Structures are given as C-alpha cells and as structure tokens.
Structure 1
Amino acid sequence: MKKTFLRQAAFAAMLATTALAPAVSAHAAETPAKGGNIVVTYKDDIATLDPAIGYDWQNWSMINAMFSRLVDYTPGTTELKPSLAESYEVSSDGKTYTFKLHKGVKFTNGRELTAADVKYSIERAVNPKTQGPGAGFFHSIVGADAMTAGKAETMEGIVVVDDHTIQFNLVQPDATFLNVLALNFSSVVPKEAVEAADGDFGKKPVGSGAFILKDWTVGQSLTFERNPDYFIKERPLIDGYKVEIGQEPLVALLRLQKGEVDIAGDGIPPAKFLEMKKSPEFAGMIVDRQQMQTGYVTLNTQVKPLDDARVRQAVNMAINKDRIVRIINGRAEPASQVLPPLMPGYDKDYKGYPFDQAGAKKLLAEAGLKDGFSTTLYTSNTDPQPRIAQAIQQDLAAIGVKVEIKALANPNVIAAGGTKGEAPMIWSGGMGWIADFPDPSDFYGPILACASAVPGGWNWSWYCNQEMEKRAQAADAMPLPAKEKERLETWSKIFTEIQEKDAPWIPVFNERRVVAKSKRMGGPDEIYIDPTRVIDYEAIYVNQ
C-alpha cells in the first residue's frame, strides 16, 4: 500500500517540480498565525457551491474549502496525500482501490460521514440527472458508462464494504485515478441535505470541510466561517472570509490599497498592471506566476457552418495572437495547441495554425463560404475579456466573418456553453482552462471528451471523436512509471492531431496568473495561485 501511494505521490511531486518550478517565497520563514477574517472581491456572483456542478475558477476554491475528499493535495503543490482516508491499498493489477476512512468525521449538520456517503456522492456527480461537468473523470470505474448513458442508477464498481471502508473496481488501470478522487467532484455530501435542499443544494451546501457557509446574499456577498468540527485540527488558519460581489477590479484594487480588501479575486487589469509593477507602494502585494493554462475560443462543432472542419481551420488562421497578447501587457505567450507549455506531453515542435488571413479566405471559399458568414461570440464581461473579444471580432471581419459579441457574467457564459446549440463561439477568457492536476488527460476528459459533451458539461465545442476516445482510454491505462514516456507521447499526438484535423478550438494564449493581495496577508505565493485550488483558503493566514 505505502509503495503504491509513494510512487504516485512522487510522480505528482516530480511533475509539480518540473512543470511549476515555483520560486522560493519571501514568506518561507514566517510562522503561520491563527485567527482573523479577510475580505475577497469579485465582479460577478457565484453560480453555485454544489461540488458536483461548480467548475469555474471563482467557485472552485470556495467549494474545495467547504468539502472533503478521500485524498487531497499538500497546500501549494500537486503532491497527493490521504485526507478522509486514513489509508488505502491498490491491487497488483492496478484495478482495485480500497480506502479506510477516518472515524468520527462529521458533516456540518452533525452526522458522521460514512462510506455510503462516498458512494452516493460520486454516483451523484456521474449521474446525468445532476447535469454536472465532472462525469467524464470517472469513466474508468465499472458501471460509470452505464450511468452516464442513463441505463443505471448506481455504479457497481463502487462497493461499500462497511461504514468505514470503500472499494473502487476499475475497468482498466487508470494512472490518474487518485488525482480524480482529489477533485471537487469527488467531494463527499450527505444525501439527506441534498434532498432537503430540493434542487438548491448549491445555495444550501453541507460538507465536512474547513469552512461553513453562514450567509449568502445573492448579488452582494458570501460569508464563510471556520468549521469548529473540522477533522484536520490545525486547519484552517483564518477564522473566516467574506466574498464581496459586484466589485469592479479597479475599484477592488483601490480598496486593497487602503487596506479594506485582502485579495482582489479578479486579478489586476492590464491598464493597472504596469503601474502597480513599477510602484514601490505595491511591493509585496503582487503574486505573478506561470500556470498550466490555455485561453481559447471554442468552436461549436454541432452548429453550421462551424460543423465543417475547414471553417474551423480557417478561423484559426485568421487570429493575430501576438496582438491579443499585447492587449494584456505581454502577460502570456501565444498558444499553438490545447496543452500549455508547462504540461507534460506538450509538443514543442508543433507550431499550430499560422496567422494567414489569405489562406483562411481560401479555406472558406473551399467550404462554399467565399462571402463569409455571421456568428456570435460569447465572452465574460470583465476587463480585458470584451477587448480581447473585439480583437477577435476584427480579425474575423478581415476574412468576411461577421461576429456579434455577447459579453455576459461568467455564470451566463457557462450556461450558454453547456447548452448544445446556443453558443457558436466562446472566448474562454478568465475561464481559460487551468489544469486540475499536472497530467495531459485533464485537458481532454472534461473539455474534449464525448462524456463532457452533455448539458451542463464544459466541452463547449460539443466535440466527440470515438477514435480519440479509444486512444485516450488506452493512454490512461498505461502503467506509471514503466510507460511514462510512451504515455506522454501518446497524449501529445492525440492533442496535435485533434487540432490539426478537427480544430474544435482556437488556442489563443497561455497566460500567467496575477493576483493582488494586501500586505497583511501571509504565506507563500503558491497558496494564492495554488495549482489545484486557485486560492487555498485553508492554508492562507493573516500576519498578526
């Protein structure tokens, strides 16, 4: 058991070291203090706090801090460790995982958490009736495919051995299964609370994590308090945090400068970035880190004329990515492919589509669209996303494509993407894909796989290629570390071939994440741009 755990944890740690390469933090010598409340701001409201449904960068951190999972990550890293599980064993063929749960862990409604709750929660995340985006992650569990197809109400591969023992039986070995069990979608929830909420669990969440939602005034604020019964006794460090909604990013930064705000959640707008970077007044207040992220435009493969691969290839060739990078003060690199450069499996030799508007016009003519066509591009309404959308609009106009822009709040963009025929194109913008864990499969399953091309899913291209499905499942079944090199090469070819042949995306750039925090906030930079949590509310603290 320990051998298996250490091998996978070491592999994750190796990826974290090579891919993320965090700088040594100036806070490393601090002793974390306990106590204090902080204020975080966002422009848009939160859509949901339901772990089976929430999947945007705003709510991900909050959900993570309210719920617990069998395994989790060491703060600021991608190193896996047991959490709700006190131990686990993996069979020699890699197809059976057995977890022993800590006893005495309680939900915030006072009931003890059991293995039956684990089974219920994961089946709920996979069940298409939930309309959540995480089902594709669990494809390797026996019975998952039947459930996603609506042919089963339970998954026979999840077995409750006793109140504190849960077993997972897999169709094939899955190199990422422990990572999947650390995702928010694997968070454990009490069935009675879900049913009592009557479809509104996302507003009335009950978990077993570090924080409890005490108040949610829609459109104004959310207030979280420390869970006094949290089973990890040394966490969290802060007493609570308040999320204030409706704050324009520039206003939030002014308030942060005055000490009224502790974390400006929407980041630093490009117009303010250079000024803050050069000003001694903001020294120690800017966290600027590379991340495994790709910002992209989804092309709905089910909507005419984007159902023609030649049209999708043409719009790829029409976009001037260098100009878009300049809009955000160079805080990114132009992207050639789905995978970001820091992700293992990235093909550094693949150059993607060139900026060639003449070639784009030729492809449109071959597709019978020499006079172009009209379409709609959805985007977040937070700066600089509308300005980037306008640059895309101008580039496409040059090849005869007339684009109407719909700039909406993030939850509305997400809803449009998860509705099959609604959004022909979406600029992902501030919701660009950030890795859940450092493995290339994470850039396939939730955003390009057939299982994610469902209502509520995040495959906003509605792309489904059965040949790629088989190759992706075969790649995940390759054992680590024995076939690590072959596995990464397989994934690399999957992504470059998808882009070259089918072009369901326009990869635009790989952006650095920039966050502004007040001077009283302690802790290393990694926990403000955490590779798995975005912001690690459980680990941040206030300097007393």
Structure 2
Amino acid sequence: MKNALMAGVAGLALVAGGALAQVNEDAPQGGEMVVTYQDDVATLDPAIGYDWQNWSMIKSLFDGLMGYEPGTTTLRNELAASHAISGDGMTHTFVLKDGIKFHNGREITAEDVKYSLDRVTNPETRSPGAGFFGMIAGFDTWNAGEGEGLSGVEVLDDKTVRITLARPDATFSHVMALNFASIVPREAVEASGEDFGREPVGSGAFRLTDWTPGQQLVFERFGDYHRAGVPKLDRVTFDIGLDPTVALLRLQSGEADVPGDGIPPAQFLQVMNNPAQAENVVEGGQLHTGYITLNTRMAPFDNVDVRRAVNMAINKARIVQMINGRAVPANQPLPPTMPGYADDYEGYAFDPEAARALLAKAGHADGFTTELYVMNVDPNPRIAQAIQQDLAEIGVTAEIRSLAQSNVIAAGGEADQAPMIWSGGMAWIADFPDPSNFYGPILGCAGAVPGGWNWSWYCNEEIDARASAADAMADPAKTAEREAAWRSIYVDIMEDAPWVPVFNEQRFTLVSGNVAGDDSLFVDPVHIPVNYDYIHAATGE
C-alpha cells in the first residue's frame, strides 16, 4: 500500500509469527488522541481508500472476516468465529461470530459478506484492490462486467459463507484481512451512493461522528464493538490542514499526539539531538520501496531504452543523504528483507554517460521534455528537484508538478496523464509480507486500469501468468520454489524497467507523552501508520 514519506513512515515490519504487542489490558478506558495531517482525507470507503493517510483510519472504522494480532502480521479471526480450509486449499468456509453489529445497530449476516466482496470486485466500483481477489471463482467473469457477482462466494445460512477458489493461492487468508475485504452494509452504501466514502458505516472499533472538510475528522468509540475492552480511547481527532512543521510545534506544545505526516526532514536531526524529544521517537522496520514510475503507454517511455537510461541517470545515494540517511538505495522492486529479494542482482548502476548513449540509441540524442508529478509534502518536492537535476545531466527536461496527494493519485490512475511520478508520500509498503504484494496492484496487469495504482501502466502478460503460477504454490513444502519464482519475476521486470527503484526506508515517528502503548502500535505493520484501536491514555502507565 501507499505511504507518506517519513510520516512515521507506513511500514510492514517483517514480524509474521513474531512476538505480539504488549497490549495493556488494565489501561483505563477514556481519553483522546489528536493526530495531524496537512492534506484532507480522500475517502473512507474501504473499497477505494488505499493510501498512507486513510489506511489506518479505515481499519479502525471497518472489520473483515480476518484480521491481525496487534502490532504484528500474525493472522487471526476477526468477524469470523471460525475459518475452515479444505484439504486441497480450494474451499474456505467462514462462520460469523454471534452478535456482531454495524455502527447503525444492525447485526451482520453472511449476506453482507457476499455483498461486500461482490461490491469491491464490481468493475463499476473502480476499486484499486479488486485484483487482490482474482483467485476467487467467478472473478474474471464478474470483473469483466458479466454475470451477477462472484460465483465462488456462496451464502450457506445467516452465519456461514463458503468461498471457492479458482486456483490455489498462498495469499488468500491475508487478502481477506485487507481493508478491501471489509464488510459493509448494503443499505448504507445505497443510501449514500458516491458519498459513502464521506459517510462510512462499518463495524470497527471507532465510528465517524464528524467530518469538516479541510479541517477535522472525529472518531468516537463504538460501544457495541465485538472485542471487549477495545478501543481504550474514547475519541481520536484528526486535525487537517497543518503544515508538518506547524504540526511538530503543536506536538511539542502538548496540542497534538502524533504528527501524521511525520517528523519534517528539516527538523529530524534537531529532534534526534534533543534527549527529551528523542526518547519519544519510535523507530520500526518496514517492507518499503520508494520509486519513480515511468508511464509505459506514453512516449517516450514506451521505449525500453529510454526507461533504462532514466534508471542509470538517478543518483540514489544523494537522495538518501537528503533524508538524513534513513534509507538504503534500492535496485529492484522488493525490499531487502522481503522473501524473494534477489541478493545477486546488481540493477542499473548510476552512469550518466551510459544513459546518454542509450537515449541516443533510442532516437533522443538531444533529450526530450517531460513532466514529473510529486506529492507536495516535504521532502518530496526537494527529492523531485534532485531527480530533475539528474535528468538534466542526460539532456532530459522534467517539469515538476507538485500537487496534493489526492491529485497525484488521480493523475497516476489515468493512462495518459502522468509521464513520471515520484512515489514519495505514496510509495509502496507491503500490505502483508509476501512478494506477490509488490506485484499485483502496482506492476501487474490488474493494476493497470483507470483508478488503479500501477502508475507505470506496465502489463506483461507472460509475467502475469508466471505470477499467477507462483501464487498457486500454496503448499508450504514449495516455499523455496515459490520464492525463487518471484525472484526471477522481479529481475525480469527490471529488464523492462517500468520503475526506477530509489530507496528502501526505515520508519520513524514521534509520540507525545499523553498517549501510551507498545511501540509496535505506533509503527503498526498493518494498521498503517498507527493502530488506534489499542493505544490508550498515558494515565495509569
């Protein structure tokens, strides 16, 4: 999923199966937390929202059949009381918990599960996450606008849903824990229509009680939540429209608790060199790659030599220095700690002279003019300027278009609008610790659709078939073979050069003394960036 650069920073620590967060069950109920952001929230519809800012908000408003233990990527049943898997891995049967309710007071039934999965995969919904569900029987037909929903999702009774897969898939249980698999009430969606993202009704630990566009959102505790004692806080307030530097000052003065856009890079060393502030900095690992997309459907980036030349032109080490060394240069889509990472792959070396030669071979000896889109939160515009300077060295003139996050996302989702995008602020962090997650939404054919997140509009059908075959290796005995398959896939993608992988980040965030909880809740691997459900007031620590 997408993240905000240095915003605390949206990451998946590779902790699957690791120690659980130390949740303070005895912490008192009550209190509130204030989180700041510069830009307004684009949407709170779980079928649509897919960025750093709204991901954790949506997770606190909605639940799916599956979820994760706090602070980890360890799966658990959420709205499901049980999850039975057939011996061949092709059939998954979920039985719902008793008494689970939506925020409107209605009890959740199996029909709601069927409706929600049909909705997210309906092409009319234009969900960027639809492709995640491609393993479910009937997806291809339904996604093409034919038939009436996913034939593989069957309601057996009010409490029971059976999901039949078209092929084995090693990622299915994780997919059912994604925001996109959240259960929504049909009546609320139909009543709100296109405004459901502004008027969300879910079954999560919090419910939305106020949204003043451009100013504030207020979440309040849902009293009928299905997990006793959750959430601890009564309220989470999101203050919108604050420059990250102003937000930091508000936190330092006790007026905010978490700066959603993170520690401003210009103030990072100042914060770290102040012992009183440094002790409130939380650091965590993440499965992240920041990259430049090259739109393969727009000239001249429809020429692979041009794309390779741009890869050779970018001085990644200099960009890492610009962010205080909080990353390492990247040479492939996968981060180094992800299974399937190719340790022996050297990538494209920084070589402006070779880049100029490739441009000449491609018919652009005199260079060309293009546009580079970037999110307008620091340090992203400065990084874009560094990229602009590197491109100028090989004769490429790049006009920077610095826009709000939602505008950059919208541009990337149109096939002919954004020739290049620096992903910072929206770069990729794994939704779950599996190499396939860096492919489908952002490099696969399923993501190269209007409104999708494959902003390079790269679609290699041969690689798509290999990716499907790799995910079909659901037998744990084939883990090594599956990782090798993904390793080969990403090396071959880099031959096509639809991206310039730039760096892999480490995540830092700052927390006030007013709220408390295990560090992993503030750098939560799936409630990105923050697990609001389990944080509590500092009183009683």
Shorter-chain TM-score: what band?
over 0.9
Query: Following TM superposition, by how much is the alpha carbon of 1:31 offset from its aligned partner in structure 2, in angstroms?
Result: 4.8
In structure 2, which of residues 60, 80, 88 is the aligned counterpart of residue 85 of structure 1? 80
User: Match for 1:16: what amino acid?
Assistant: V
Q: How does 1:335-484 map to 2 (within 5 A)?
A: 335-484=330-479
Give 1:32 shift.
3.2
Report what 1:159 is aligned to: 154
Q: Distance in 1 between matches of 2:462 and 2:497?
A: 15
Distance 1:353 1:390 in 2: 21
Contact 2:327 2:505 in 1 (8 A): yes
Structure 2: distance between partners of 1:153 and 1:461: 31
Aligned counterpart for 1:511 among listed residues 502, 505, 516? 505
Gaps (5+ residues) in structure 1?
1-12
Counterparts in 2 of 1:341 and 1:49: CA distance versus 1, 3 Å? same
Residue 520 of structure 1 is matched in structure 2 by: 514
Identity of paired residues, percent? Answer: 58
2:13 and 2:284 in contact (8 A); partners too: no
**Structure 2 equivalent of residue 6 of structure 1:** none
Residues 372-405 of structure 1, C-alpha deviations (whole Å, 9 max, x = no match): 1111111110000000000000000110111011
Over 3 Å counting, the alpha-carbon distance change for 1:70 and 1:350 in structure 2 is: same
Query: 1:203 aligned to 2:202?
Result: no
Contact 1:28 1:524 in 2 (8 A): yes
Which stretch of structure 1 is more off in the superposition, 202-211 or 141-150? 141-150
CA distance in 2, matches of 1:496, 1:74: 33
Q: CA deviation at 1:15?
A: 5.5
Q: Tell me, yes or no, if structure 1 residue 257 matches structure 2 residue 252.
A: yes
RMSD across aligned C-alpha pairs, in angstroms?
A: 1.6
- Whole-Å separation in 1 of the counterparts to 2:363 and 2:289: 31
Cα deviations by residue, 1:169-223 (Å, 9 ceiling, x for unpaired) = 1011111100000000000001111110021100010001101100100000100
Instruction: Answer whether contact 1:148 1:451 (CA < 8 A) is retained.
Output: no
The CA distance in 2 between the partners of 1:392 and 1:127, in whole Å, is: 38
Q: How high is the TM-score relative to the length of structure 1?
A: 0.95
* Cα distance, 1:195–1:14 mapped onto 2, change above 3 Å: closer
Task: Give the Cα–Cα distance (whole angstroms) in 2 for the partners of residues 388 and 288 of structure 1.
Answer: 22
Q: Which amino acid aligns with 1:540?
A: I
Aligned to 1:217: 212
Q: Which residue of 2 aligns with 1:131?
A: 126
Cα deviation, residue 14, structure 1: 12
SS at match of 1:45: coil
Three-state SS of the structure 2 residue aligned to 1:107 is coil
Q: TM-score of the superposition, structure 2-length normalised?
A: 0.95
Q: Which amino acid aligns with 1:78?
A: T
Q: Distance in 1 between matches of 2:23 and 2:135?
A: 39
Letter paired with 1:522: A
Q: Count how many residue pairs are aligned between Structure 1 and Structure 2.
A: 527
Alignment pair present for 1:144 and 2:139: yes
Distance in 2 of aligned mates of 1:33 and 1:477: 46
Counterpart of 1:492? 487
CA distance in 1, matches of 2:76, 2:436: 20
Q: Which amino acid aligns with 1:517?
A: V
Alpha-carbon displacement from aligned partner over 1:96-129 (angstroms, at most 9, x marks no partner): 0000001221111121111111111111111111
| Residue 275 of structure 1: how far off its partner (Å) | 1.1
The 3-state SS of whatever aligns with 2:399 is strand
Instruction: Give the counterpart letter for 1:117 in structure 2.
Output: D
Asked if structure 1 preserves the Cα contact closer than 8 Å seen for 2:131 and 2:447, the reply is: yes
- Partner-residue secondary structure (3-state), 1:100: strand
Matches of 1:207 and 1:126, distance apart in 2: 18
Q: More displaced, 320-329 or 340-349?
A: 340-349
Match of 2:328 among 333, 342, 349: 333
Secondary structure at 1:58 match in 2 = helix
- Structure 2 CA distance for aligned equivalents of residues 377 and 541 of structure 1: 42
Match of 2:15?
16
CA distance in 2, matches of 1:481, 1:198: 43
**What's the counterpart of residue 297 of structure 2?**
302
Structure 2 segments unaligned to the other structure (5+ residues): 1-11
- Paired letter, 1:323: R
- Residues in 2 aligned to 1:252 and 1:200: alpha-carbon distance in whole angstroms: 29
User: 1:388 and 1:525, CA in 2 relative to 1: closer, same or farther beyond 3 A?
Assistant: same
Contact (CA 8 Å) 1:121, 1:189: kept in 2 or not? Answer: yes
2:63 counterpart of 1:68 = yes
User: What is the DSSP-based 3-state SS (H/G/I as helix, E as strand, rest coil) of the residue aligned with 1:136?
Assistant: helix
Counterpart Cα distance in 2 of 1:430 and 1:344: 24
Match of 2:97 in 1: 102
Aligned to 1:248: 243
Deviations 1:130-171 (A, max 9, x none): 111001100100111112222233110101111110011101
Q: Which amino acid aligns with 1:529?
A: V
Aligned to 1:276, what secondary structure does the other structure show? helix
Q: Distance in 2 between matches of 1:73 and 1:340?
A: 22
Q: Is the 8 A contact 1:379 1:385 kept in 2?
A: yes
1:239-267 deviations in Å (ceiling 9; x for gaps)? 11000001111111111111110001111
Deviations 1:64-105 (A, max 9, x none): 000011010001000000011000111111100000001221
1:462-495 deviations in Å (ceiling 9; x for gaps) = 1111101111111111123110011011111101
For the residues of structure 1 that align with 2:327 and 2:442, how far apart are their CA atoms? 21
Counterpart selection for 1:35 from 30, 34, 52? 30
- How far residue 283 of structure 1 moved from its aligned partner, in angstroms, is 3.5
| 1:15–1:344 contact (8 Å) kept in structure 2 | no
- Report the 3-state secondary structure (helix = DSSP H, G, I; strand = E; otherwise coil) of the residue aligned with 1:89: strand
Q: Name the CA distance, whole Å, in 2 between partners of 1:539 and 1:347.
A: 36
User: Structure 1 residue 529 and structure 2 residue 529: aligned?
Assistant: no
SS at match of 2:197: coil
The CA distance in 1 between the partners of 2:41 and 2:82, in whole Å, is 35
Amino acid at match of 1:472: A
Q: Which amino acid aligns with 1:508?
A: V
The residue type equivalent to 1:160 in the other structure is: V
Q: Which runs of 4+ in 1 moved over 6 A?
A: 27-30
The residue number in structure 1 matching 2:275 is 280
| Structure 2 letter corresponding to 1:104 | G
Q: Determine which of 92, 105, 119 is the counterpart of 2:114.
A: 119
Question: What secondary structure does 1:311 align onto?
Answer: helix
Separation in 1, partners of 2:234, 2:356: 58
Spell out, residue by residue over 1:296-353, the C-alpha distance to the aligned partner (whole angstroms, 9 max, x if none): 0111110011011111111010000000001100000000100011211111111210
Structure 1 Cα separation of the partners of residues 25 and 228 of structure 2: 20
**1:5 maps to which residue?**
none
| AA of the residue aligned to 2:91 | T
Alpha-carbon spacing, 1:260–1:537, altered in 2? closer, same or farther (3 Å): same
- C-alpha distance in 2 between matches for 1:217 and 1:126: 30
> Structure 1 residues 366 and 184, CA, compared in 2 at 3 Å: closer, same or farther?
same
Shift of residue 17, structure 1, vs aligned partner: 5.4
Q: Deviations over 1:400-424 (max 9, x none)?
A: 1110111111111111111111111
